[in-house]
Amino acid sequence: MDRRGQLCVGIDPHPGLLAEWGLNDDAAGLERFSRTVVEAVGEQVAALKPQVALYERHGSTGIAVLERLLAECADAGVLSIADAKRGDIGSTMAAYADAWLRDGSPLAADAVTLSPYLGFESLRPALDLAAETGRGVFVLALTSNPEGASVQHTGGPDSRSVAARIVDAAAAENVRPEAGAEPDLGSVGLVVGATVGTALADLDIDLAASRAPLLAPGLGAQGATAADLRRTFAAAYPNVLATSSRGILRAGPDLRSLREAALRTGAELASAR
């Protein structure tokens, strides 16, 4: 982020977008779409975030494309975030961690998104393996879908909301063992929707204190602007890795148009600081 800015481009090969690009909704179209995004913006943005479900829908051939995409991200020197939203318990969670975070795994990414709704500690296998391999995780904390509030805004016995307790747990993982031993940001990130509005203030959540990288989907096509992000995240704005998918992808398949769309969005994010 220091070198390349605060933009993460989501790689979301929806059937409609594939059609807009003149590509078939099959593995070949998926591969062309994915490689085009890496070629267009892989050397100028902080991260690329493939939506795993849109590869899984093509079965084994889609997963094979995803494996190649993650390897191409590494070759291009751009961080990869597998948007898989995995969450389970025990040996199953350990298997998910092994798939996405183990050195040598064909699906190894620089980070993976996780769902903590079986309890934050259920994520322990992934938290520990990410720390061991130098990777990261982004834990769902406060999403902007209407249904999310029914769980995330709910208070527990201590009157703290579920979302606030997830943030607290991530902050505990990111505590420095000693002064100067770690960079300003920890490796346990949080997913917080770009369009959550006043929810952070309403729920008394201090994101800046968590030392968490903040993956913020919703920039662009979902309605959030860089100015909105600055207002929503306030003091935590420098920690925000803002995600735009359709807002940039619709500029394709022309490489120059994709690059220009990413550059414009990145410049807007920088000007909001």
Q: Where are the domains of the chain?
A: 7-271
Amino acid sitting at position 246: R
85 is catalytic: yes
Please tell me the pTM assigned to this model.
0.96
Q: Which residues pair with 50 in a beta bridge?
A: 11
Alpha-carbon distance 70 to 60, whole Å? 15
Q: Any alpha helices (H) in 136-214, and if so which ranges? A: 149-152, 162-173, 199-202
Which 8-state DSSP code applies to residue 22?
T
The residue type at 151: V
- Give the number of other CB atoms < 10 A from CB of residue 26: 12
Q: Which CATH superfamily is domain 7-271 in?
A: Aldolase class I (3.20.20.70)
By C-alpha distance, which of 161, 74, 165, 63 is closest to 111? 74
Please say whether the beta carbons of 218 and 243 come within 8 A: yes
The 10s digit of each residue's pLDDT in 82-139 is 999 999 999 999 999 999 999 999 999 999 999 999 999 999 999 999 999 999 999 9
pLDDT (average), residues 208-232 = 93
Active-site residue (options: 85, 230, 246, 250) = 85
Structure tokens at 269: 């994010």
Residue-wise pLDDT for 74-92, tens only, equals 999 999 999 999 999 999 9
